[in-house]
Each structure stands twice: as structure tokens, then as C-alpha cells.
Amino acid sequence: MDLVPLRSVPGAGLLPAPDQVVAAASNVAHKVLYGGVADLRPMPRTLIDDGTLREVYHYRPAGHVQEQGDPVLLVTPLAAPSSCYDLRRGCSLVEHFVTEGRPTYLVEYGEVSFRDRNLGMEHWIDEVVPTAIREVSKHAGDRPVHVIGWSLGGIFSMLTLADKRSGDLPVASLTVVGSPIDVALVPLLAPFRPLLNLFNGNGPITKGYQMLGGAPKPLVKWAFQLTAFQKLVTKPLALATHVDDREFLAQVEAVDAFTSNMIAYPGRTFGQLYHRFAKGNQLATGTFELDDRTIDLADIAVPVLVFGGAADGIAPVPAVHAVVPLLKGSPEVRFEVVPGGHLGMLTGRAARRTTWLAMDEWITQWSGGEQPTEAIGTSRKRRHSSAASRALSK
């Protein structure tokens, strides 16, 4: 007969069960001897293309698994490390795709510095995301790409596919995870909205990011932690009551590592996000003014899968669902509510049996049947050898 954890039994005594004592002792010993219980080794990958704040990676196939089918491209949001898709072994979307034999790619941006302060959203919408899509398609044997974007990565992906200047991109489908379109429906921002509108473009926030050249890493980390303030406060108690639960402890360690590696925002991009999204809520109408053109989400012509997290405070379900009626040009739009908060819905423990399975089904539905005549990565001259792979510790 299985023993039920003490914390789940109402009115149970204070003495833990024997198996809990053994598990707790093992976890503590592992923490002391090895620094933690989570396996934070990133999945092996090779750099296939790079440019200004653009690094495109191919994740190497697992063992004897043969890559087949259309590739997926994971679009990293600004300020977040790419470990959002590869959080830890056993709880990594990248690992899931790779072990299933799916050709898996990722675009990230590297470190943002003061010299990048003049880069605006145009850089990602006009250059980074479209180039990554084309390079992935070429590397995968000219197959169409399934684009997956989390948070701001989803917004950048939508704007890229809606922008007529991007041309005919080789995209099979788009998946958007936790991307708030109507920020008026984000309760977290409600108390601050009167302050945001108090100044006409000359407030302390505007002056601050202009002076600093963007939003620095410590500020980005603090803002992310603030969105989960209640969990931050109760974290010591949660760790103490789950000291025998290795999966719980490993997830906490992985999220801590993710949060510690936040990246800065370039100044102009931060300004656009602040004024047009946080203050102006421009995307709620379905259109976005960029330079001398208007981008309309109704021009997205590929199938779109949208995920909302049931416990997401940054992108609540109504704020994410607001995009569904705006995608008038898509042949199919599917909306799913899955367990978890902003990060948990993408790579939490429950995502393994909810979000990831829905993605598998969606990609299979919108994939072509023919296989490439050449192996992945052999359809063109490789620009970077495996020895040139970037460091994976960031």
C-alpha cells in the first residue's frame, strides 16, 4: 500500500512517514553535495545562423532517434533566457520535441548592451524573426516551419506573420503561448494605469529608460518576481513542507535559475512596449503602427493555436483570448486553457500532459506528409561547425 504524503492528510500527526524521512534526507544530502536536485544541463545544440541580436540554434537529435517531419522554431521573448523552453531535464519542451524526433530550432538574442539602445521592435519584426524562419526552413530541407512563441515571443511572431513586408514566409502554423493582447484585461496593471497616464510621455519611467538605454537586468528580474510575489513570500514554507518531494524542489531550483538569467531590454524597444502596449493598449484593436505602415493581425494567413494559463497573472486568460476574434484571415484558430502560471503553462510539471500534447496534436494536424530527400542540415553549406556552438551556460 502506497504511503500518502503527510502534508496531504488533514489532521495527520506531526511525525512524517518513514519513506518521507528517507526522501527528505536524500534530497538534503544531494543539495549539500551537488548544489541541488535539478538536472539543469541544457540540451545539446549547434549554431546555424547569427546576426545582430540573433542566434539561431538547431538542437541535435537524441541518441538513435531520426529527425523527421516539419521543423519547429521556438521564438524567445525579449529579456527572458532561452531556458524558458529548456528549463530542466524531464521538464523541457525542447527535450520533449527532440526525443520525439521533431527537428527543433530556437532563436535567441544574446546579451543586450547600451550600444543596442536604438534598436526598436522593427529589428525583431523585420529582421530577426523572418530571417530565423527562413534559415530554419533551409536547414530542415526547405520544409515549412511551425513557429512557437511564448509571451512577447508570441507577439513578435504574430506581428511578423501579419506584416506584409515579411513576404511569403515558409510557415506551416503558429502557436502563441501566454501572449496578452488586451492589457486592459490584466488586473496586475490596473493599480498602475492611472500613474502611467499621469505624464504625457515625460514621466519618470520614460526618463529612466532613456537615461539607462533600456531596462537593466536587475529591474527585469525584480519585475518578474513581483508578478509572483505571493509565491516568493511563501517560498520558504513551501520548500520546508515539500522537502521530501524531489520533483517539486527541482522545479523551484529550475525557475530560480531561469529568473537569475534575465536579460535587459534595449531602450527604444522598451519605450515602444511601454507606450504602445502598457499605456496605449494598441494591439487590442488588432492593428499596430510601425514606422510608415500598419500591421493588421487579420492578415495572418496560417493556422493559429493560442494558449492561456489558468493561473497566469501576467497574461490572464481573457487578455490572451482577446486575440481570437482578431485573427480573421487564419484558416483555423484554436484556443486552449491549460494549467499553470506564465512560465508554468509552458514548462511546468503539468505542461507535460497538457500544453505539450496539444502542441503535438496541432503540429501533426498541420504538417505535410512528404519527407525531405536529404537529411536535416545537409541541404546547404553549414556556416558554423559543431565546434563553433555557443556556450550553453547563459
Place of cell 501572449: 179
CATH architecture of 45-182+262-393: 3-Layer(aba) Sandwich (3.40)
For the chain, where are the alpha helices, taking DSSP H only?
Answer: 18-34, 93-99, 121-122, 129-139, 152-162, 193-196, 204-212, 217-226, 229-241, 246-260, 267-272, 317-321, 344-347, 355-365
Neighbours of 328 (CB within 10 A): 12
* Residue pLDDT tens, the chain, 394 long: 333 344 544 444 455 666 555 455 554 544 554 556 679 999 999 999 999 989 999 999 977 888 999 999 999 998 888 999 999 999 999 999 999 999 999 999 887 766 767 788 899 999 999 999 999 999 999 999 999 999 999 999 999 999 998 889 999 999 999 999 998 998 766 544 444 454 455 554 444 434 434 444 554 444 554 555 445 444 555 555 656 566 878 888 898 888 888 776 676 777 778 778 777 898 999 999 888 899 999 999 999 999 999 999 889 999 999 999 999 999 999 999 999 999 999 999 999 999 999 999 999 999 976 555 455 664 444 444 333 333 333 3
Closest CA to 271 of 343, 362, 207: 207
Neighbours of 184 (CB within 10 A): 13
- For residue 337, the 8-state DSSP code is E
